[in-house]
Structure 1
Amino acid sequence: SDKTKIYRSYHFIVDETEQPEESFRILSDSETELADNLNNQTVATNPLNMEDFEFISPIPEERYNEVIVHLRNNFFADEPLNKSLGLCEPGEPHAELEAHSLNTLHDQLSVMAVDKETDQVVAVSLNGIQFPGDIKREKDKLAKMTDEKFKQIFTLLNNLNESLDLFTKYDVDKIFDARILSVDSGYRGKGLGKEIIRRAEEVATENNFQIMKGDATGAFSQKILLSLGWKLIHELKYIDHLDENGEQIFKPPPPHQSLKIMIKKLN
């Protein structure tokens, strides 16, 4: 049997989990540590050969639809905040998420991995430019939307980012915003997510960004970013994020416990 099923890999932003929802339970610290060790062993002993993939950046417009289909099947329903609210079902379209993704693709900073054998899009890192004033404009747009679950998620992200004021903190006029990391369910836990973020870092450097930022909503994306030298600048534990009645708003499945805003300074 596959022992790694007690801690199925993967996902930013960052995030996905393959484990059936009905089997979720809170793991003890020892179980979590064991699962993490098994996951690391799997990564070490059975990695993907990155030469089997073509990494493409910027993503050409004629492949945007393939990226959206990939996200419908792998990211939209499984990202921890989306999943906790039941934002959408696997494979289903979601107008606001797709508009958000397409707007990001048009910034021409995203990276995709294509399986050379099948020509299938198997992983994407959707990256955009964030300028001062963008968050206010996003909040104004959000106020006019009718999807309350989508509004809950992006209100949280916008408010946190606004409070951090990274432009002033790091004295920059633009930020490389790593918005979505998605890996196909058949390719997870074997290094592809880390490789595609590493390549996103190259894109950011080539385009003269000084700061990369990611809102890492799940444990797996957080682990990837930490392994690449990203730094935690703010953490919000989901158990501490309550509504006006004192009820926890987001209850994503284990092992996702917090939202971490992370940055990486570039030379």
Structure 2
Amino acid sequence: MTTPFYRQSAVWWISISIKFAESSSRMEESTCRNDHVQFSVAKSEDYESVLSFVVEHYYKDEPMSNSYIYDSSPADDDVEFSVSFLFQGMAIKAVDRDCDNRLIGVSIANPIYPGYVEDLLKSAEQAKTQKWRDSLKLLAHLQQSTDVLQRYNVSKCYDIEIVAAHPEYRGQSIGSRLFEEQFKRAKQLGYPIASADCSSYYSARIAEKVGMKCVGRLAFANYRDDRGVQLFQPRAPHEEIQTFVKLLNV
């Protein structure tokens, strides 16, 4: 039996599915019209611009990433793994055609499959940074708790990992539209369900808005390492990670 492409290398194809960015800063006034926003599947030539975008507009605001007690800066191995799924056709970009196709939004997903938890833990052992290692362990804990494959009796799930909008466009439903575009992409790729692990209070509200159902919760205060240390300590209102699922009519 041929090994599925997304399991050929646990190191390169495992990506943490916890997170959605939401800035608490005041939104700037955009000089471009939102009705000229275009969504499309990101291509290989978009890699560098997408990577720069998520570092600047996602990881800096994502509650889990910026609340890690030992290092609040993005872990390079986390970023590289996450953006690598662009090459599998699982990234959506939003551009403003009235602003020279300015990149204003990005969403990236990754596959969940049988044996995913085991691969997460193997990848944690090989992680370059302690932050990525601890993040992978938390993700494995979440996956064991929710087990969406068994819950819905499916063999794979399209996990929407990253949703980020440019600050000038936040509050204009870019996040909701990125979710909807990812649902369409998931169906094109033959996925029966989509999921999202939201560490941001605001992204959880967006997930609810687009019709996703909450199937699991984990309070940050209740997750600790083997020494009893709370590794992730985000500020209010980000108090828990909520796992959402949406059934897709493939």
Asked if the contact 2:34/2:96 (under 8 Å) is kept, the reply is no
Structure 1 residues 145-154 or 68-77, which shifts more?
A: 145-154
1:192 to 174, 177, 181: 174
Q: Is the 8 A contact 1:14 1:221 kept in 2?
A: yes
Q: Does 1:209 align with 2:215?
A: no
Q: Secondary structure at the match of 1:114?
A: strand
**C-alpha contact (below 8 Å) 2:43/2:87 kept by paired residues:** no
- The partner residue of 2:147 within 153, 160, 165 is 165
Query: 1:123 aligns to what?
Result: 105
Matches of residues 5-154 of structure 1 in structure 2 within 5 Å?
13-19=19-25, 50-57=34-41, 59-85=42-68, 87-89=71-73, 94-116=75-97, 117-154=99-136
Unmatched tracts of structure 1, length 5 or more: 1-11, 21-38, 40-45
User: Which runs of 5 or more residues in structure 2 are unaligned?
Assistant: 1-17
Identity of aligned residues (%): 23
TM-score (norm 1): 0.77
Work out whether residues 95 and 103 of structure 2, in 8 Å CA contact, stay in contact via their aligned partners in 1: yes
Amino acid in structure 1 at the alignment position of 2:57: N
Verify the 8 A CA contact 2:50 2:83 in the aligned structure 1: no
Q: Which one is further off, 179-188 or 94-103?
A: 94-103
Letter in 1 for 2:65: N
Shift of 1:244: 4.8
Q: Alpha carbons of 1:162 and 1:104: their partners in 2 closer, same or farther (altered >3 Å)?
A: farther
Question: Which residue of structure 1 lines up, in the alignment, with residue 15 of structure 2?
Answer: none
For structure 1, which segment, 215-224 or 237-246, has the greater mean C-alpha deviation from structure 2 after superposition?
Answer: 237-246
Tell me how far apart the structure 1 counterparts of residues 199 and 57 of structure 2 sit (CA, whole Å): 15
**What is the identity, as a one-letter code, of the residue corresponding to 1:79?**
E
- Provide the rounded CA distance (Å) in 1 between the counterparts of 2:185 and 2:127: 32
Q: CA deviation at 1:99?
A: 2.0
- Letter in structure 2 aligned against 1:15: A
Matches within 5 A, 1:211-226: 211-226=193-208
CA gap 1:146/1:100 in 2 versus in 1, 3 angstroms: closer
Aligned-residue Cα RMSD (Å) equals 2.3
Contact 1:132/1:174 (CA < 8 Å) preserved in 2? yes
CA contact (8 A) 1:105 1:128 kept: no
1:98-137 deviations in Å (ceiling 9; x for gaps):
3212332122122110121132211111012222123312
User: Counterpart of 1:106 in 2: which secondary structure?
Assistant: helix
Deviations 1:113-171 (A, max 9, x none): 01211322111110122221233122112112241122222211122103332222211
Deviates more, 1:239-248 or 1:94-103: 239-248
Conserved? CA contact 1:107–1:127, under 8 Å: no
